[in-house]
Structure 1
């Protein structure tokens, strides 16, 4: 069955054969067969039910910050939910839709003198992605602040999952296991001093800017932290900073990052990743596992 999603859903912004390099933080990635930008839960549900009924593959890429899309692109329908970005405050709870940025959510918490999200002040991803992978930084993790999340299952069913049901682990949540789509998250915070919250956020952002290559396209932290080690230090000690394949390079500023220095491709990124893994394994006997999500056709 040949479908035309643009005709099927004229009220939703949908693009055909759209280059995903226009949306990823690495500025790489092939075309999506179909790329949709739903603006509310009802539109997401319509699309999810339609692709399930018609056996069309479905991929959600959130804010595309900690992501590499292979140069072959992605089959079927890709959803970007950045249009679902409302944030509201109810008492000590901050409720953010999946497409809201983590940075904006931390700013709303700060403006309402609520503490508990300072660690995420510079995390560039979306709330959906943060819940999906239990994003964290500077000793904090999403799991410490999330009270519950509303998700949509592949059937289109909507469920609210408690913190326990989200089963958070290191860069993991149960949303990965049930192939759900995060729609909204509720953060349970505590009253705090706005000046102290602001000062802590400013300090962490200054540390991030000093150490990380924020001036260049990247996919954020590439590798998970191996038990007993730091990935960046292993890569540095292996003499790999500055290693380049095509237009992708191990950052000279922070060895845990790979940056796009000259129109790099996803294949360039993957070549660098595989080389780094091989050298670190050979020199130190440590297997580096990717934290960045790698998806799409070869």
Structure 2
């Protein structure tokens, strides 16, 4: 089982102190957090997410009946139950506390959504997240940072991630909202576009070869596009889910024109359209392929030492 590190314990105590200051009863809160060194340690104390925040989290993630929502540290199950009852989604709640799992199952029965949700007593670090289309969190800052590499390793591009109160460090949120004094952070899992991509296009002297080199930092990237002897910086790079776009100022006679590339990432292939500078005429199709050996993981950090 996991050992709660000193830094995480300090963060937990700060969180508890803040809750106490806000006037929330702490009766039973510490009792629900297993003793340090025990066989089943909890990384996070149980503090329910207010219903107004639950609704905002589901709204920001645009949850629908086609979604599979994973709630890590599900508590009494209210997020996945709301997703199933109000949005028609399916849901999986993960928690280490057997009392919370029992309570979640009872709440699901009362809400009549047992056919759409399930609750599993399991360490969230050992949970397979590959099927999730939405992941919800109400953990601690240190736990968010520890689980972040797992999210990038397992979640598909386009998966939505929503966190109550705590961000993801250097991975800046795509949206932030405040609800009744609580912060809600939202991200869309970006495709990995790092590495070297190549394609050819018809040119004045036959086929013209292009080489795109990208360095990625979460949903942002920078790089260069080379054609012949010309190397041009790319700018205004946008990565959202499996969609990528960027602009290159390419030479056109004696002038430089801004050309916009847009495409869908599918593994080591990008396929899309190159938009002409006038923004109106029909764009040209392009298909780029990446050298797999040039890929760099978006977040391959080890567990954050606290």
TM-score (norm 1): 0.26
- Structure with the bigger RCO (C-alpha within 8 Å, sep 6+) is 1
Higher helix share: 1
TM-score (norm 2): 0.26
Higher strand share: 2
